[in-house]
Chains A and B, each alone.
Chain A
Amino acid sequence: DQQVKQNSPSLSVQEGRISILNCDYTNSMFDYFLWYKKYPAEGPTFLISISSIKDKNEDGRFTVFLNKSAKHLSLHIVPSQPGDSAVYFCAASAPGSARQLTFGSGTQLTVLP
């Protein structure tokens, strides 16, 4: 039973356009959500997070939106750059238990020059 789902295994966008990566969750106890970026042969790198008390968080070109009623979050990258090409994982945690993370299966983003 996947509690965090990323239904798009891959996404291709043109350089300069917007990339939108989506993530759905089922556990209503999740209150903290993160996006990680991963290049081949490297560990995941933290990108941006959002608490359930917010519905939007921005950091430069990256914005995460949270829709609690739909149990859905999305990551927007504007403008997309070739260096953004990587696998993006969304992750969620609930209070307690050392904030252990539950990950989605990832979306491979390819930004075409």
Chain B
Amino acid sequence: NAGVTQTPKFQVLKTGQSMTLQCAQDMNHNSMYWYRQDPGMGLRLIYYSASEGTTDKGEVPNGYNVSRLNKREFSLRLESAAPSQTSVYFCASSEVGTSDETQYFGPGTRLLVL
């Protein structure tokens, strides 16, 4: 039972390049989330998916797109990376609407955009 897994662990991009961050969970959770964490700041929500087939913008969605591929997988895409997107990205999942709505996080992807 791996919980939430993320790939890659670390990536370096040049400005303008694209990439997709992958996230998968094996807890059969209905909701999944993407956050970014910058130095001295808390985690900020980029996008979330309340259930399979739905996605919604969070606090900082500009420059990102997401896909809820199936119940297990939720990917985050940077179409044209910018240095301002240098950050650590965390994926999380939860079972909303039950007695335990706790969000469980993956280990993170460190992204450096040059």
Contact = CB atoms under 8 A, between A and B. Distances in A.
Interface string A78-100: 00000000000101010001111
Interface residues of B, number: 26
A101 interface: yes
Contacts, number: 64
A16 B114 CA distance: 45
B59 to A, nearest CB: 8
Given A43-B105, A46-B104, A105-B40, A100 B45 contact: yes
Interface residues of A, number: 26
A6 B40 CA distance: 11
B43 A101 contact: yes
Interface of A: 4, 6, 9, 32, 34, 36, 41-46, 49, 89, 91, 93, 97-106
11 contacts: A9-B40, A41-B107, A42-B108, A44-B90, A93-B101, A99-B103, A100-B58, A101-B33, A101-B45, A105-B41, A106-B42
